[in-house]
Amino acid sequence: MKDFIFHSPTKIIFGRGRNREIGRELAKDGISRVLMVYGMGSIKRNGVYDEVTGSLKESGIEFRELSGIKPNPVLSKVYEGIKMGKEMDAQAVLGVGGGSVIDSAKAIAAGIPYDGDVWDFYSGKNPEKSLPIYAILTISATGSEMNGNSVITKEETMEKRGMHGGVISTPRVSIIDPSVQFSLPKEQTVYGAIDAITHVAEFYFNGSKELNFPDRLCESLIRTIMDSVDILLKNPEDYHARAELAWSATMALNGMTAVGRGRGDWASHQIEHALSALYDIAHGAGLAIVLPAWLEYTMDVNEDKIIQLGERVFGVKERAPKVIEMLRETYRKWGAPVYLSDAGIPASDIEKIAENKSIRYPTGYAKKLYKEDVVEILRIASGER
C-alpha cells in the first residue's frame, strides 16, 4: 500500500424521498439565496423539480433557476450561470441532475468569486475559492456528487477538459434518492454504469501490484454494478438494484479506489473526451468503445490484472484477450456501442480524434501514450486490428 490522504467533505443523504431535505440543509448552513441549475427537463417530468423547489420555499430559501444544461455541458452556459449568480448575489449553487448539471454547478460556483476567465481552471490552474456546492443527483454515473472534478466543453475549440478543484469544488451536501432514477431511459442507465466501471478501471489498471483490499474493493464495485444493470434492464423500477448501483457509482470516483494505489491512468477518459467533444455522444457510450481497446493495447503492463479481473469478476480462468472480449460482450449485451462504427464514427476520422485538444500528450500513467499510440488504440476501437 502506498501512503495516502483521504479527505471527503461531502455529507451524503441517501434514500427514498430525501430530496425534500435540501431546503433544511441549506438553511442549517446559513444559506438563504441560491442559484439552482438543471438540465433539459427530466426533473420537471419525474417530480424532482417540484420536490426541490417545494423544499426551498418551505425553508424560505430565495432561488433563481438556470435550466437547459445539456449532456456534455458547454462553457457558454457556464458563463450565463456566472452572470446570473453575480447578479443575484448567490451564496451557493445547487445542481439538480446528473454529472453534466453538477459539473456546470461546480464551474459556476468557482467562476463567481473569480475575476479572471473560469476556463483558466480547465487549463491547469486550480481554483482557490468557490461558492459552496450542493447537489441533488438524478443519474448515477460520474461520481460528481462526491468529488471535486468538473468536465466542460469549450465550443469554439471543441475541447473537453477537466477542472480538478479538490475539496474546494467538492459538494458540501449531496442527496441521492435512487427512486428518481426509475425514469431513466435504459441506455442512460447503461452508459452511467459503464462510466462508473471505467472509473474503477482507471485505478485498478494503473500498474499497481500486490494490493489486496484495494483490488477487492474495485472488483466488488464492478461486479455489483454489472449485477445491478442486469436486474435494471429487466425491471427499471427495482429499488434495491437502483440503490446498489447508485452507491457503487458514487464510490467508484470519490477517492476510495485511489487509496493505497496512487493516481489513476485516465488515458481512456481523455480519448473518450475527444469523442464526446467531437461527436456529442454519451460519455459512457464512448468509454464502452475505448476501454476494451485501451486494455488490448496496454496488455504488456496490465496482463496479470486482466486475468485477475477474469477470475474474480467474471468467474473464469482465461487468458487476457478472452477476458477483454467478455467485457465487450457484456457491453454489447446491454446495448452499448463497442466499436467506433457502432456509434457512427468513421475510421477515417482517427487522426482527427487523436489530434483533438481534449487529449494532452503524453497521456496515461500505467503506460505513457503519444499520438501514435492513441492512433493505434483507435484502430483497435475501429475493429480494424
- Chain residues that interact with ligand NZQ, rule: CB under 6 A: 39-43, 46, 71-73, 97-101, 103, 138-139, 141-144, 147, 149-151, 180-181, 183-184, 188, 192, 195, 253, 269, 276, 283
Do the beta carbons of residue 256 and residue 225 sit within 8 Å? Answer: no
> Of the listed pieces 39-47, 70-78, 190-198, 314-322, which binds Zn ion according to CB under 5 A?
190-198
Closer of 26 and 69 to ligand NZQ (Cβ): 69
Choose the contact partner of 224 out of Zn ion, ligand NZQ, none; CB within 5 to 8 A by kind. Answer: none
Closer of 18 and 199 to Zn ion (Cβ): 199
- Residue 375's Cβ-count burial label (10 Å; 0-12, 13-18, 19+) is middle
Q: Quote the least distance from Cβ 115 to Zn ion, whole Å.
A: 31
Planar angle of CA 325, 326, 327, nearest 5 degrees: 90
Q: Out of 21, 145, 195, 244, name the contact with Zn ion by CB under 5 A.
A: 195
Closer of 248 and 310 to ligand NZQ (Cβ): 248
- 220 Cβ contact partners less than 8 Å away, ≥ 6 residues apart: none
Q: Quote the least distance from Cβ 158 to ligand NZQ, whole Å.
A: 14
Closer of 66 and 69 to Zn ion (Cβ): 69
Q: Which amino acid is at 300?
A: D
Choose the contact partner of 100 out of Zn ion, ligand NZQ, none; CB within 5 to 8 A by kind. Answer: ligand NZQ
CA atoms within a 13 Å half-sphere pointing along the CA-CB vector of 50: 6
Closer of 153 and 302 to ligand NZQ (Cβ): 153
Which residue, 365, 122, 335, is CA-closest to 232? 335
Interaction mask 145-164, Zn ion, x per CB under 5 A: --------------------
Q: Quote the least distance from Cβ 74 to ligand NZQ, whole Å.
A: 10
Closer of 51 and 195 to Zn ion (Cβ): 195
Cα Rg for the chain, rounded, in angstroms?
20
Do the beta carbons of residue 238 and residue 189 sit within 8 Å? Answer: no
Choose the contact partner of 126 out of Zn ion, ligand NZQ, none; CB within 5 to 8 A by kind. Answer: none
Report residue 311: phi and psi, to 5°: -70, -45
The neighbouring-strand residues paired with 94 are: 36, 134
Nearest residue relative to Zn ion (C-beta)? 195
Using DSSP's 3-state secondary structure scheme, residue 124 falls into: coil
Closer of 97 and 292 to ligand NZQ (Cβ): 97
202 binds Zn ion (CB under 5 A): no
Q: Quote the least distance from Cβ 316 to ligand NZQ, whole Å.
A: 28
Closer of 38 and 63 to ligand NZQ (Cβ): 38
Using DSSP's 3-state secondary structure scheme, residue 60 falls into: coil
Distance, in Å, from the CA atom of 158 to the CA atom of 316, rounded to the nearest integer, reads 42
Q: Quote the least distance from Cβ 68 to ligand NZQ, whole Å.
A: 8
Choose the contact partner of 148 out of ligand NZQ, Zn ion, none; CB within 5 to 8 A by kind. Answer: none
Report residue 151: phi and psi, to 5°: -120, 120
Distance, in Å, from the CA atom of 270 to the CA atom of 374, rounded to the nearest integer, reads 10
Q: Which amino acid is at 62?
A: E
Site of interaction with Zn ion (CB under 5 A): 195
